[in-house]
Every structure is written in C-alpha cells, then in structure tokens.
Amino acid sequence: MAIQVRTILVPIDFSSHAGAVLEWAAHLAEEHGSKLVLLHAYHLPVDFQQLEGAYLPPDFWNQVKGDAAENLDKAAKPLRDRGLTVETVVREGYPATAIEEEARDRGVDLVVIGTKGHSGLKHLLLGSVAERVVQKAPCPVLAVKTPEE
C-alpha cells in the first residue's frame, strides 16, 4: 500500500513552538510533494465571555483576523521560498473543532500539530487541542513534541 500525502494541514498558534511544527511539516511536504495548508483558528476564551460589562471595540474581530492573516503570511514566506506550495486559512472558532472541520472539508491526508497547550487545571477543564485533534481528526495526525525550554 502506497501512502500518499498530498495535503498537509498545519494548525499554527504563533507560539514559540510553531517553528518546530512548521519544520516537520515542511520536511514531509518536501519528501512527498505535498501542499501545506497553514491554519490559525481564533476564538474568545470562555473566561472573557463571562465577564460582566466586558467591551470589545466594533472592529475587534476584523483586527484579530487581519493580524492572524498577516502572521500566517509571514510563516508561509520561508516555506514558499523553499519552493513549497502553501495556502493560509484564518477561521473563527474553537481551535480543535476548526482543525477537524478544515481537515474534513479539504480531505487532507495528514495534520501536523504541536503538543504544547494548556496544563494543570485548564487542561482538565478544557482538554488539549492536540489531544482532541488526535482523537477526532478524519486523517492521521503527527503530534510534534518540542524540547522543554
């Protein structure tokens, strides 16, 4: 059985661990001739939504989306300079759900995701995005663990 990896979905959270995730995805894309889809999902944390009197400026979400698109383009440039085909996608929604939906909608062959996330009580309450993606994604998932800093 030949494994074909035509499209790789790479969720990016712009953390310090994103570089290692991008490097793994780029290496695999070079090996398989794959297209990379960089995805950033944003949402308003539940804690903030429950603050009484919380105010968001009218253009808040447009600014968040614009900043994310700009940061994704910066992440995509060195990959494109290496000759890779890269698309960027910014979506509103809980990250794990957005990743699962994007993987399903695009029929991706692999998700490459970092393992760094919430720890302690937040992990128990919210669960790990990477853990949920591993469980729910419609395709194989490579979870990239980065060395402790």
What b/e sequence results for 13-51 when a residue is b if at least 16 CB atoms lie within 10 Å of its CB, and e otherwise? beeebbeebbebbbebbeebebbbbbbbbbeeeeeeeee
E strands in the chain: 7-11, 35-42, 85-92, 110-114, 141-144
Q: Can you tell me the distance from the alpha carbon of 93 to that of 133, in angstroms, rounded to the nearest whole number?
A: 14
pTM of the full structure: 0.85
Q: Considering the domain boundaries, does residue 149 fall inside one?
A: no
How confident is the model at residue 62, as a pLDDT? 82
- 92 contacts 43 by C-beta, under 8 angstroms: yes
Digit-coded pLDDT (tens) for 86-103? 999 999 999 999 999 999
Q: Considering the domain boundaries, does residue 2 fall inside one?
A: no
Q: Considering the domain boundaries, does residue 31 fall inside one?
A: yes
Q: Can you tell me the distance from the alpha carbon of 30 to that of 91, in angstroms, rounded to the nearest whole number?
A: 26
How confident is the model at residue 148, as a pLDDT? 64
Find, among 100, 86, 75, 85, the residue nearest to 13 by Cα: 75
pLDDT at 137 over 60: yes
- 42 contacts 64 by C-beta, under 8 angstroms: yes
CB atoms < 10 A from the CB of 113, how many? 28
How confident is the model at residue 53, as a pLDDT? 59
Query: Any residues with CB less than 8 A from the CB of 34 and at least 6 apart, and which?
Result: 5, 6, 7, 8, 28, 109, 110
pLDDT at 127 over 70: no
How confident is the model at residue 57, as a pLDDT? 72
Residue 73 lies in domain: 7-43+57-144
Give the domain CATH number at 87.
3.40.50.620
pLDDT at 123 over 50: no
Q: Which residue shows structure tokens 């490579």?
A: 142
Find, among 135, 133, 106, the residue nearest to 36 by Cα: 106
Number of structural domains found in the chain: 1
Q: Considering the domain boundaries, does residue 48 fall inside one?
A: no
pLDDT at 39 over 50: yes
How confident is the model at residue 45, as a pLDDT? 59
